[in-house]
Structure 1
Amino acid sequence: MTDGLDVIVVDDDADVCELISSTIKRFYTWGNVLSFTDTEEAIAYCLNRDIGVAIFVVDVFLGGSSGFYFLDAIDEKFPTAHSDSIIVTGNASDDIVNMCVASDVNHLLEKPIKPYALQLAVRAIAEKYLKFAKKLFRDPEFAKSIANF
């Protein structure tokens, strides 16, 4: 179990998966960075986690499936998986952009990924959780109302 907001990287190309993971590990301090090259293994891991919140960096094409299939498969356990995702592709075509929009994915990066673009996208997703946590600490009444929800 983790005490932070983990980043889960899913890409069927082992070299790309390692490159993305190592890039994130250089700047990310709010949780662990986990990587998977096997979609089914990533799904099983996510469905067995105690906490259903994470940041996802997912390749759009994952061998015989897609990044959207992965996100749909974990959606029940991670209700914000789509909006907490960064889709990665070799070619950001209109179809892929439209799939992102239709799936509530707001971050799309094209390979080769620029490290600063990845950092800003991860930070944008993490920031909403950091702001929410600060609000919980600063406003006990708000925290109490969330606890009773």
Structure 2
Amino acid sequence: MSDGLDVIIVDDDPDVCELISTTIERFYAWGKVLSFTDPEEATYYCLGRDIGVAIFVVDVFLGGSSGFYFLDTIEEKFPTAHSDAIIVTGNASDDVVNMCIASDVNHLIEKPVRPYALQLAVRAIAEKYLKFAKRLFNDPEFAKNIANF
């Protein structure tokens, strides 16, 4: 079990998966960086976790499946999976953009992945959790209300 906000990478291309993982590990300090080339293995791992919050970096096409299907599969365990996802694609066509919009995915990166684009997208998602944690820590009344919710 992780004590932080993990980044889970799912891409069926081992080279791309390693590149994304290495890039994120260079700057990410708020949790573990985990990568999977097998979507079924990633699904099994995610559904077995205790904590249902993570940042996802997912390829649009995962062999015979899609990254959107992967996010749908884990959504019960990770209710914010879609909004906490970065979709990676070789071609950001209108169809891919429309799928992102329809699926509540706000981050889309085209291959070849530019490190700064990946860093900004990951940090944008992490920042919302960092701000929330800071507010919980600094505002006992807010924390009490959340605890009673």
* TMscore range, shorter length: over 0.9
**Equivalent residue runs for 1:70-81 within 5 Å:** 70-81=70-81
Instruction: Give the total of aligned pairs.
Output: 149
Partner of 1:134: 134
Partner of 2:146: 146
CA shift digits 1:29-59 (9 cap, x unpaired): 0000000000000000000000000000000
Q: Which runs of 5+ in 1 are unaligned?
A: none
Partner of 1:7: 7
**Equivalent residue runs for 1:1-149 within 5 Å:** 1-149=1-149
Query: Match of 2:87, SS?
Result: strand
Distance 2:140 2:31 in 1: 25
Query: Match of 1:109, SS?
Result: strand
CA shift digits 1:85-120 (9 cap, x unpaired): 000000000000000000000000000010000000
> What is the Cα deviation at residue 82 of structure 1?
0.1
Q: Which amino acid aligns with 1:80?
A: T
> What is the Cα deviation at residue 148 of structure 1?
1.0
Distance 1:88 1:97 in 2: 11
Query: Match of 2:15, SS?
Result: helix
Q: Which runs of 5+ in 2 are unaligned?
A: none
Q: Which amino acid aligns with 1:67?
A: G
CA shift digits 1:14-33 (9 cap, x unpaired): 01000000000000000000
Sequence identity percentage: 85
Structure 1 vs Structure 2 CA RMSD: 0.3
Distance 1:45 1:105 in 2: 21
Distance 1:62 1:103 in 2: 17
Distance 1:34 1:40 in 2: 14
Distance 1:16 1:81 in 2: 21
Q: Which runs of 4+ in 1 moved over 4 A?
A: none
Distance 1:66 1:36 in 2: 14
Query: Match of 2:121, SS?
Result: helix
